[in-house]
Chain A
Amino acid sequence: MADSGSTADQWLEAQRRYWDAWMDMTRRGLDAASPGQSTPQNPWADAMEQWLKAVAPATPKPANDLLEQMVNVGKSYFSMAEGLYKGAPSGDMPEMIENWTKMMTEAFQGGGANFNPFAQLAGKSGRQGMAFWDLPFDTLSRTFSGSMPIPGDFMKAFETAKPTDLREQMEGFLSAPAIGYGRESQEQHQQLGRLMLDYEKAMSDYQAGFAHLGQNSLESFQKRMQTAAEEGKTINSVREVFNIWVDACEEAYAEYAMSEDYARRYGRMVNALMALKKQGTRLVDEWLEAMNIPTASEIATLQRRLHDTRSDYQALRAQVERMQGELDEHEGGNGEVQQLREELAELRAALKKQQSDNASSSGSGAATDDEAAAEKPKRSTRRSRAASSSASGDKKTAATKTTGKTTTTKSATTKTGKTGTTRRKSQ
């Protein structure tokens, strides 16, 4: 900040002078001020604006936004205090509140949103408060200003108090039949014009829905005051009054925002804006296509195809991982078979050796006995395997169990495709 200290001092000095005048006003009453004396409508707010302008350039962006918000709401807060005291020069409290509410009621009934000290608080009154919903439209207007027969800012004309005449004229223009070589293009532009009118009407209807809100807020405020009085509560600061007023405004707003009427107006406004924007995009696309530049719809098609391709890829990758898991299990199974084969070969070798030993000890006439002896170990091997299948720690048992478990898990995997990772990890 270039000179924050002196700026602050100057501002505070200005405020001090204002406070003196303000105190004087509360003593004598604004209306009793001497003729010809120039009393600004809201000198505090003016001074505040000046101060904001002085400090804003040196303030970083996020802090600057906040500062602006604080100043704006601060102005509302001070306006309320001023309104209270202007309403009763005598300083009599009941009279003060009565006069203030009367003043507010008249302001609201007269459609004067500007009289509402909270109008700027939430931006609920006036076109400015709807800036968000106008933003896409502004962009669109600018895009079109150089390429369409209707000036990009012609909609501003509808924001005046009585747009009826212009609307009627526009509707007449838009209903003229399209002819000639550019017929199709003319129809598209007429459609855009019609959608602009629809949007403007929907937006006006939406804003009109808030008209009764100020009066309802005031009634809610009065009820709260009455309740507090009945309960013997006292309110000792402007801030408390301000907070009660905010609560009253929120209550009135919430009641309306929950209504079917609001939902319909809001829906119409959003849908009208979207229809307008969509038509605008269509026209821009035609324009771009004529110049051989990729259009929004072409890019959307590519995005869609890319998305679908990626989805297919992810599905295939998941399938490959599942199959890889199954393959690993299968290979694990092959290993077990190989192990069994080796064991069998060992047994056979042992048997052969035993037969050979038996033959050498009992002579050549034992051929029949040899065959019987060869059968016996086979049976005993099967028996011992069957018996050992329930014993823990046995290598073969583990293999059999694992095989059984794998089969179960495998079926679960096929069904859900979920247990593969953990199972593979644990192997």
Chain B
Amino acid sequence: MMTPIQIRPDEALDELSGFQNKLTHGVQNLMEVGEVSTGATPREVIYDEDKMVLYRFQAPASVVQNPVPLLIVYALVNRPYMADLQENRSMVRGLLDAGMDVYLVDWGYPGRADRYLTIDDYLNGYLDRCVDVIRKRHRVDAINVLGICQGGTFSLCYASMHPDKVANLVTMVTPVDFQTPDNMLSNWVRHVDADLVVDTLGNVPGEMLNWTFLNLKPYRLMGQKYLDMVDILDNPDQVANFMRMEKWIFDSPDQAGETYRQFLKDFYQQNKLVEGGLRIGKHEVSLKNVTMPVLNVFATEDHLVPPDSSRALKKLVGTKDYTEQSFKGGHIGIYVSGRAQKEVPPSIGKWIDART
């Protein structure tokens, strides 16, 4: 076989030598990073209940705000500060600059005493009360909702159960069809006994979820990434950015057992959002009830939520005002990449403004 590899030994030596120099000298930067801070935008606590906190972000005084507030609903499986990671990587900041009045639900870290919290408790309890608090504060009947990842799935369920409280719905990297052929997570849990897992563990450890997510692409996420990091070791700012991201990746709250049980069985194993038959508390959840305008934003390179899983929404949703927006990037890049900052929040703001 002819080989395309054309590396002279001295070139290889230079390359490897350069690598070791970067590592040796860059380690000082690594040690000087100190405490990794996250969350860039000033915010205030509006409402809290148990471990859940509702925040409102401080808008720049110069921006004219949309009168209808926007509530960000994040996933339970990671921490929401990903949406406001740092000054120049903040989706929240971008939305504020686009004239949105931004609120965010932080679900907190469930403890062992929270193991019986159900999806009903989260959506028809905590989330619904947050929505009511915001509606009351702003004297509006309905607010705008932006759901991210699993938070997007939850937002769809909420909008289906309470359509009169949601004026416009934005879903970002949101799984809808949990059984597309390229959904690795879905394949993995097909034969897992969800009842046995929850009955045994109570809450499902965040470490277990982390292990699962990292093993979707183990060679990249647990190997290659760290080799690439050596390239940036000489830049303290980039090292700090990397550390911030690492902190977020490994900051996985445990999952309340009953919520995990229902999510695994109803969404992943039985795909009820597509197949029908989903019940949350007293409500029957049908995406046909989602009649408000919907903007569905997905990432074309998403390894966690395949684009087809998100795109399935188009055929299922009841609204006549449905818009799709694709972002060329991955599941994380859609919040934090430089291009995402320029593209995603402004387009969300524009879409909402056109419907307010």
Q: Interface of A with B (CB < 8 Å)?
A: 1, 4, 8, 11-12, 15, 19, 22-23, 26-27, 51, 55, 58-60, 62-63, 66-67, 69-74, 76-78, 81, 84-85, 91, 93-94, 96-98, 118, 121-124, 132-133, 135, 222, 225-226, 228-229, 233-239, 241-243, 246, 249-250, 253-254, 257-259, 262-264, 266-268, 270-271, 274-275, 277-278, 281, 300, 303-304, 306-308, 311, 314, 416, 418-419, 421-422, 425-426
Contact = CB atoms under 8 A, between A and B. Distances in A.
B15 A239 contact: yes
B30 interface: yes
B4 A274 contact: no
Contact of A66 (B10, B216, B220, B243): B243
- The residue in A66, A97, A242 that gathers the most chain B C-beta atoms within 10 A of its C-beta is A66
Interface string B1-40: 1111111111111011101110111011011011010000
Contacts of A263: 187-188, 190-191
B12 A85 contact: yes
A19 B8 CA distance: 14
Contacts of A22: 13
A23 B10 contact: yes
Contacts of A306: 113
B140 A26 contact: no
A418 B162 contact: yes
A229 B115 contact: no
A84 B8 CA distance: 11
Closest 9 CB pairs of A and B: A267-B191, A122-B218, A121-B223, A307-B116, A228-B4, A278-B200, A26-B9, A69-B226, A421-B136
Nearest to B28: A4
A104 B222 CA distance: 22
B197 interface: yes
Contacts of A81: 12, 16
Interface of B is mostly: helix
Interface in B152-184: 162, 164-165, 181-182, 184
B136 A23 contact: no
Nearest to A97: B3
A258 B24 contact: no
Given A70-B229, A235-B4, 7 more contacts: A23-B9, A69-B222, A239-B15, A250-B219, A258-B187, A271-B192, A303-B113
Contact of A60 (B5, B19, B31, B141): B31
A204 to B, nearest CB: 17
Contacts of A418: 132, 162, 164-165
B207 interface: yes
B121 interface: yes
B61 interface: no
Contacts of B197: 270, 274
B199 A278 contact: yes
A26 B272 CA distance: 61
B139 interface: yes
Nearest to A271: B193
B202 A118 contact: no
Given A250-B220, A262-B187, A275 B196 contact: yes
Interface residues of B, number: 81
B230 interface: yes
Contacts of A91: 8-9
Contact of B24 (A12, A63, A308): A12
Contacts of A122: 218-219, 222-223
Contacts, number: 239
Nearest to A68: B226
B352 to A, nearest CB: 20
Nearest to A237: B15
B321 interface: no
A22 B27 CA distance: 25
23 contacts: A4-B27, A12-B20, A27-B9, A60-B33, A70-B226, A76-B223, A91-B8, A91-B9, A118-B223, A122-B223, A133-B211, A225-B1, A226-B1, A236-B7, A239-B15, A242-B224, A257-B184, A257-B215, A263-B188, A263-B191, A278-B196, A303-B116, A314-B125
B208 interface: yes
Contacts of A304: 116
Nearest to A15: B20
B136 A425 contact: yes
Contacts of A27: 9
Interface of A is mostly: helix
Nearest to B198: A274
Given A63-B243, A281-B200, A74 B19 contact: yes
Interface string B128-159: 00001001100111000000000000000000
B11 A236 contact: yes
Contacts of B184: 254, 257-258
A70 B218 contact: no
B139 A229 contact: no
A237 B201 CA distance: 48
A242 B116 contact: no
A419 B189 CA distance: 41
B227 interface: yes
Nearest to B136: A421
B187 A421 contact: no
Nearest to B2: A229
B12 A238 contact: yes
A8 B218 contact: no
Contact of A253 (B23, B25, B193, B219): B219
B16 A78 contact: yes
A125 to B, nearest CB: 11
B196 A271 contact: yes
B339 interface: no
Contacts of B188: 257, 262-263, 266
B288 interface: no
A311 B125 CA distance: 9
B5 A62 contact: no
Given A229-B2, A235-B6, A274 B193 contact: yes
B162 A233 contact: no
Given A74-B19, A304-B116, A225 B4 contact: yes
Nearest to B8: A91
A93 B6 contact: yes
B342 interface: no
Nearest to B224: A246
Contacts of B141: 419, 422
A62 B247 contact: yes
A265 to B, nearest CB: 9
Nearest to B131: A418
Contact of A229 (B3, B24, B34, B224): B3
A133 B12 CA distance: 39
B243 to A, nearest CB: 6
Given A4-B28, A67-B27, A416-B164, A235 B7 contact: yes
A307 to B, nearest CB: 4
Given A229-B2, A235-B4, A242 B227 contact: yes
A11 B162 contact: no
B117 interface: yes
A253 B218 contact: yes
